[in-house]
Amino acid sequence: MDRRQFIASGLSLPLSCASGAFAADPIFIGDMHAHFYFDRQGVMRSPPLGGAMAAGNATLVAWSLVSDLLWIGATQRGIVQKAVPKPGDTLGWFERELARIKKHLAAQNLKIVTTARDVDRAVKGEPHVVLAVEGASFIEDDVSRVQAAYDLGVRHLQLVHYIKNSIGDFQTEKPAYGGLTEAGKKVVQECNRLGILIDLAHCTGEAVNQALEISKAPMIWSHSSVTASRKPDWTMVGWRARQLTLQGAKAIARKGGVVGLWAFDLDVGKTIDGYGSRLLQMADALGEDHVAFGTDINGLGAHAMISNFADLSLTVKYWEERGVSRGRIRKIAIENYARVLRQVLV
């Protein structure tokens, strides 16, 4: 019987009740990057989020709205742009999808993070969701839409994703701008002004460096992994192109930011133990204050080795069994993401 079967069988107590000492001091989970999709009728394809979060002690989850979902598709090389949106299309999609997300959260009695106080409540165990957007393509050439997104509750914005945009270069296509565009640089400044966490995932190294020079607030790289052995390039297979160099990860950490690890099995392996060990390696390389969960749940298809928060909670169990300090576990599990959110929210 493996660890997952052991937990599921009920032979092990829940994380929050594993012992008298731990019962009063549970470790909750934060995830910097997860997806939950709707069918054509607007119904969630996966189980309702409230129960899914409770099953894994998850209390701070970034629900990432995929801003270019209608214009991308899978190939053998990875995800690529399949169509070109017309002016206004990405904004319309963003507004419709965000409305569906908020309707589901209301039905689940899940609160949305809009202030630092909400983050504090999440860390203490009250479930909250961060409204995040993967790719700022909905902005087009109108930076004022950052304010509009903020007014709708968005507090976590990833600059680029998989389609050509007015913001900057992304890892899986040939660079066109040499990093960020002028509009992209203004988006960084506007996020700082409003109090929106900037997510650099998918950005090229040049775009990362430029954002680090501009931003007055810490930023994150929500998901993928860190490599010290290669320099990712747009000509590589998708997941390898998507990695972050160790140099880039350290630069994000030096500015107080956090780097997340996805659950892509070709990269991190097929076991909880492998995923947990990889995160500990990242913590050793970047500092335990600068790594976090960034699972990409529901975004990895057949290559997802973690599919839900109950599975993710087994990583905490693995660390406990290895004798990792509770302070270190808590930082990686939730506090690092919470910290950068607190610093950014105004």
Among 4-18, 43-57, 76-90, name the one with the lowest average pLDDT.
4-18
DSSP SS3 for 60? strand
DSSP 215: -
Question: Residue 168 in contact with residue 159, Cβ under 8 Å?
Answer: yes
If phi > 0 it is left, if psi is from -120 to 50 it is alpha, else beta; for residue 236 that is beta
Does pTM surpass 0.75?
yes
Express each pLDDT in 187-199 by its tens digit: 999 999 999 999 9
pLDDT at 24: 55
- Assess whether pLDDT exceeds 60 at residue 15: no
- Assess whether pLDDT exceeds 50 at residue 19: no
- Integer Cα distance of 346 and 340 in angstroms: 12
- Assess whether pLDDT exceeds 90 at residue 152: yes
Tokens of 60: 């701070």
The overall average pLDDT reported for the chain is 93
Residue appearing with tokens 């992209």: 184
Task: Kindly state the percentage of the chain with pLDDT values over 90.
Answer: 90
Q: Which pLDDT band holds residue 25 (cuts at 50, 70, 90)? A: confident
Q: Give me the domains of the chain, ranges plus CATH numbers.
A: 27-344 (3.20.20.140)
pLDDT at 106: 98
Q: Which pLDDT band holds residue 22 (cuts at 50, 70, 90)? A: very low
**How many Cβ atoms from other residues are within 10 Å of residue 108's Cβ?**
17
